[in-house]
Amino acid sequence: MKNPVILFALAGTLIGSPALAQVVPPPTISVSGEGTVSVPPDMALIDGGVSSEAKTAREASEANNAAMGKVLLALKAGGLDEKDVQTARLSLQPQYAQQTRPGPNVISGYRASNRVTIRLRDVTKVAATIDTLVSSGANEIGGINFMVEKASKLLDEARLEAVADARRKAEIYAKAAGVSLGMPVSISEDGGGAPAPMTFRKMAGVAASAPVAQGEETLRVTVSVAWEIKPAQ
């Protein structure tokens, strides 16, 4: 007769265990908020290089190597660090003669190309760097990207603004629903993690001595916040 008593005692212990009790989450209001900050760019990426044409592949490559060597020397002489100049693309392609009648394509020569990406940590030197590129022999300027290198730190002000914006919206909803706000129970930033460097603008076909306006851009942060709600006081 002892076994039933033990079983009933164990059952009572399990039923009354706080660990197994069902936890009902509190009612909440969930809203999103946005914060912005306008900042000037602190970095620029310039895409440029040299293309050379010749009758043979070897001649095209040698001419291109010599021309690109002059460009790189000019950039270095202008104070640019070697680590801030990176080869973006190397290519050697056959060129075909125009056909006036049906038949196989005829190779008329070769085109060699060497493109580099230049990282400028002083955006005031963009125009001067473009001048250096063109005057030293670069015949391809692809464009300029103005960027914010340390966007995450600059966005801290926007994060405060985003949470305040979320609270403002939550208070409106709470008032309309006849309740009051409690403590926030969750806060998340859309996208998660630190943002990548942000592109401001890309301008193609930039010529030497062209005026360059870096301007500024608005960086945005969006957060989602859930607040506990309770009866209005």
d(CA 50, CA 207): 14
User: Please, are residues 35 and 161 in contact by the beta-carbon 8 Å criterion?
Assistant: yes
CA-nearest of 119, 131, 132 to 42 is 119
Q: pTM of the prediction?
A: 0.61
Please tell me whether residue 225 adopts helix, strand or coil conformation.
Answer: strand
d(CA 146, CA 216): 9
User: Please, are residues 189 and 221 in contact by the beta-carbon 8 Å criterion?
Assistant: yes
Q: Where do we find the tokens 């001048």?
A: 131
Per-residue pLDDT of the chain (233 residues; tens, 9 = 90+): 444 443 333 344 444 455 545 677 789 999 999 999 888 888 899 999 999 999 999 999 999 999 999 999 999 999 999 999 999 999 999 999 887 777 788 889 999 999 999 999 998 899 999 999 999 999 988 888 888 887 878 889 899 999 999 999 999 999 999 999 999 999 999 854 444 444 444 343 444 455 566 667 788 899 999 999 998 87
d(CA 154, CA 151): 5
**Which domains are present in the chain?**
24-40+151-231 (3.30.110.170), 43-147 (3.30.70.2970)
Q: What angle do CA 22, 27, 29 make, to 5 degrees?
A: 145
Q: Which amino acid is at 216?
A: E
CA-nearest of 182, 194, 190, 185 to 155 is 194
